Structure formats: C-alpha cells, structure tokens
Amino acid sequence: RVDEYDVQFTLYKHVKTGAEIMSVETDDDNKVFGVAFRTPVSDSTGIAHIMEHSVLCGSRKYPVKDPFNQLRKTSLQTYLNAMTYP
C-alpha cells in the first residue's frame, strides 16, 4: 500500500513461467491496463518492432488486421497504442 497516493498494489507471480502481474487499485473512475514484455535487444535492426506489427496483424484463427481500430469502436479510451521500447 502507498498511502501517499491512496493506492493498493498486489503483485502476482505465475509459478510455472515466472510471469508477473501487478494490480493497482484506486478509487479513480478511470480504467486502464498495460502489458509489457522485457525484450532486450543486442542490435538496432528493429526486429522487436517488426514482431510487434506481425503479432498485431492477425492470423487465420484471429483474422483482425487492425485490432486498435476495432478496439476504438467499442471503447471509451483516451489513449490506445502498442509500442516497442528498449
């Protein structure tokens, strides 16, 4: 708990994979979530960015070509984006 900001943090860790999820609870009406994967790179070829676009391009099972526009149609979002960052 961080009393200064009146928030409660809970960290969950998946036993098998070690994946971690942090839940942050507040009384704020805004709803938000973020997903991040640590992807250290050893060069500047842009592979992480290419993979981001490839993953978000859809597949036979999930044929959505532009998931962000689909999400915008049914969302009250104020910011929606995917990004690669070192």
| The one catalytic residue among 4, 20, 25, 52 | 52
Alpha carbon 48 to its chain centroid, in Å, reads 15
Instruction: Compute the distance between CA of residue 68 and CA of residue 78 in angstroms, rounded to an integer.
Output: 12
Instruction: Compute the distance between CA of residue 64 and CA of residue 28 in angstroms, rounded to an integer.
Output: 32
Q: Answer yes or no: 52 catalytic.
A: yes
Instruction: Compute the distance between CA of residue 1 and CA of residue 8 in angstroms, rounded to an integer.
Output: 4
Instruction: Compute the distance between CA of residue 64 and CA of residue 48 in angstroms, rounded to an integer.
Output: 21
Residues assigned a catalytic role: 52
